[in-house]
Amino acid sequence: MEQSLVLVKPDGVQRGLIGEVITRLENRGLRLVAARFMWVNTELAEKHYAVHAGKPFYAPLITFITSSPVMAMVWEGPDAIAAIRQTFGKTRGTEADPGTLRHDFALQARYNIVHASDSPETAAFEIALWFKPEEIVSWQRDIEKWIYE
Ligand code: CMP
């Protein structure tokens, strides 16, 4: 079983897409195990995006992610990281496959609605950064037995 951090970023929140994101992940069969609606301060933003420090889009990205509340979540399931990234599509909306969230709702790289962890190592780092262990809820959806073994 894998976990991934998922953020509905300021553009997704402002456009009223929190429900759309949650519905797509629930429909996929994944399980929500943590959630917090919150403002992101600069310190958290810089830690979260430390891997992008120095890139041309870094400063505007920090400004963007702190510009409006975000919906921070942890989702769980078999191959959750790949499943979520497939559901969301490529970073840039114009490169995302038809039917993916970013294809359906986004055009550019910064205004791309959501963030999702890109590897198990990144997921472990990001989940520990955004949530305390006691905020992760351990449970099962009864319908899971009809979605995966
Ligand atoms: P995210 O998954 O949150 O991780 C890093 C973010 O940087 C990415 O989504 C995009 O929002 C943003 N990003 C990546 N490449 C670019 C780019 N070329 N220009 C602007 N923003 C970018």
Kindly report, residue by residue over 13-58, the tens digit of the pLDDT. Answer: 999 999 999 999 999 999 999 999 999 999 999 999 999 999 999 9
Question: What span, in angstroms and rounded, lies between the C-alpha atoms of 83 and 30?
Answer: 9
Residues within 6 Å of ligand 1 by CB: 52, 57, 61, 91, 109-110, 112, 115
Q: Residue 35 has what pLDDT?
A: 98
| Catalytic residue flag (residue 115) | yes
Q: For ligand 1, pick from 57, 67, 105 the residue to mutate: most ligand atoms within 8 Å of CB.
A: 57
DSSP, residue by residue, 88-122: H--SSGGGSPTTSHHHHH--SSSS-SEEE--SHHH
Residue 34 Cα, ligand 1 centroid: separation in angstroms? 24
Q: Residue-wise over 29-39: b if at least 16 C-beta within 10 A, else e?
A: bbbbbbbeeee
High-pLDDT (> 90) share of the chain, %: 100
3-class SS of residue 56: coil
Residue 146 Cα, ligand 1 centroid: separation in angstroms? 36
Catalytic position from the list 48, 52, 103, 115: 115
The CATH fold assigned to 2-36+71-138 is: Alpha-Beta Plaits (3.30.70)
Residue 91 Cα, ligand 1 centroid: separation in angstroms? 7
Q: Residue 124 has what pLDDT?
A: 98
Residue 50 Cα, ligand 1 centroid: separation in angstroms? 12
Q: For ligand 1, pick from 44, 49, 84, 112 the residue to mutate: most ligand atoms within 8 Å of CB.
A: 112
- Residue 55's identity, in one-letter code, is K
Q: Rg of the Cα trace of the chain?
A: 15
Q: List, in sequence order, every residue forming a beta bridge with 74; answer none if it has no partner.
A: 5, 34
Residue 123, phi then psi, degrees to nearest 5: -60, -45
Task: For the chain, give the number of residues.
Answer: 149
Does residue 30 contact residue 77 with C-beta atoms inside 8 Å?
A: yes
Number of helices (H) and strands (E), helices first, in the chain? 7, 4
Total-model pTM = 0.97
